[in-house]
Amino acid sequence: MPQYKLTYFDLRGWAEPARQLLHLSHTPYDDVRIPMADTEKSWENLKEKTPFGQLPVLNVDGFDIPQSAAICRYLARKFGYAGKNPEEEAWADAIVDQYKDFSVAYKTLIFAARAGKPQEDILKIRYEIFNPSRDAYFEILNKILKNNKSGYLVGDGLTWADLVVADNLHSLEKLKALDDDNEDHQKLRKYVEKIYSTPDLEDHIATRMDTEV
């Protein structure tokens, strides 16, 4: 069996869907996490050794794979979560690309808060940049789920697109970006519950370090 090592910071973040794919496939791996309290020193020592100067990186028997989407796509194909045919694979890829488009606005808000920007600036970003992007993203997700009666985003089974989107929605819940009185937001909450109740995933969700992002 290949030896897997996944390196990332001590967060859910960009590495969490890959962790979930490894867990779903019952694949042992070395989960290397750089402590956030020691990020600057530990990361600077490691950065130049990574392919693109970024994390996560998946190492498979000494072969490095960078970039979160490439890592997840590789694992999904290997373990049967990429889609059941080329068309489903393309749709899973497209949905993750759509999430990445939304993540530009999401990261703008997160980084503004982390940088300690004035509350007035953060609210401006939230209402003028983040909320419109969130609403368009949610509309697309709800349309896909309405048209696909299985309750999954692609086909009739779990794909890596579900893992990426559900984890992002979980982060948005922590950001209080889902409204209790919005029916479409409630539908997305129920979708996350469905994904996270997957039998081979449920124990990982219950025991993982559930960070803000």
Q: What is the pLDDT of residues 163-178, one digit of tens each?
A: 999 999 999 999 999 9
Average pLDDT of the chain to the nearest whole number: 95
Categorize the per-residue pLDDT at 35 as very low, low, confident or very high, splitting at 50, 70 and 90.
Answer: confident
Check residue 45 and give its pLDDT: 83
**How large a percentage of the chain has pLDDT more than 90?**
90
Q: Using the CB atoms, write b or e for 149-186: b if 16+ within 10 Å.
A: eeebbbbeebbbbbbbbbbbbbbbeebebbeeeeebbe
CATH fold, domain 4-79, is Glutaredoxin (3.40.30)
Q: What is the mean pLDDT of residues 9-38?
A: 94
Lowest mean pLDDT among 34-38, 102-106, 128-132: 34-38
Tell me what pLDDT residue 26 has. Answer: 97
pLDDT per residue over 42-83, tens digit each? 788 889 999 999 999 999 999 999 999 999 999 999 999 999
Q: What are the boundaries of each domain within the chain?
A: 4-79, 86-198
Question: And the tokens for 7?
Answer: 């390196």
What pLDDT is attached to residue 147? 96
- Pick from 21, 4, 202, 178: nearest CA to 96: 21
CATH number of 86-198, picked from 1.20.1050.10, 2.30.30.760, 3.40.50.410, 3.40.50.360: 1.20.1050.10
| Residue range 183-195, pLDDT digits in tens | 999 999 999 999 9
* Residue 39 pLDDT class (50, 70, 90 cuts): low
Contact at 8 Å (CB) between 60 and 2?
Answer: yes
Residue 182: predicted pLDDT: 95
pTM of the model: 0.95
Query: What length is written for the chain?
Result: 213
Does 4-79 match 86-198 in CATH topology?
no
Closest CA relative to residue 59, chosen from 97, 32, 84: 32
Report which of residues 166 and 1 the model is more confident about. 166
Q: Mean pLDDT over residues 117-134, rounded?
A: 96
